[in-house]
């Protein structure tokens, strides 16, 4: 008999986390102080978004809004 999952941990699933996100949009509620909307620019083999200099060292969250 296996122990129940501990609080805060996701139980094991047959598919990897986030596998079903491509089928439908997901709603996020984020509280913060400022927001900017930018386009990601290619830099080598990855992408880059430039943010205000005042945000250096601050915590930010990035959400993909379109595919």
Per-residue pLDDT of the chain (67 residues; tens, 9 = 90+): 666 666 666 655 566 665 555 678 889 999 999 999 999 999 999 999 999 999 999 999 999 988 7
Give residue 10's pLDDT: 60
Task: Give the Å distances, CA to CA, from 24 to 18, 27, 51, 52.
Answer: 11, 10, 28, 32
Give residue 5's pLDDT: 62
Give residue 13's pLDDT: 57
CA atoms 47, 63, 24, 11: torsion sign: positive
pTM of the model: 0.55
């Amino acid at each position: 008999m296996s122990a129940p999952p501990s609080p805060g941990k996701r139980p094991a699933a047959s598919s990897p986390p986030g596998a079903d996100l491509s089928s439908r949009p997901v709603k996020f509620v984020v509280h913060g102080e400022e927001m900017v909307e930018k386009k990601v620019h290619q830099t080598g083999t990855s992408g880059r978004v430039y943010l205000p200099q005042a945000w250096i060292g601050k915590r930010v969250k990035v959400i993909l809004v379109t595919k």
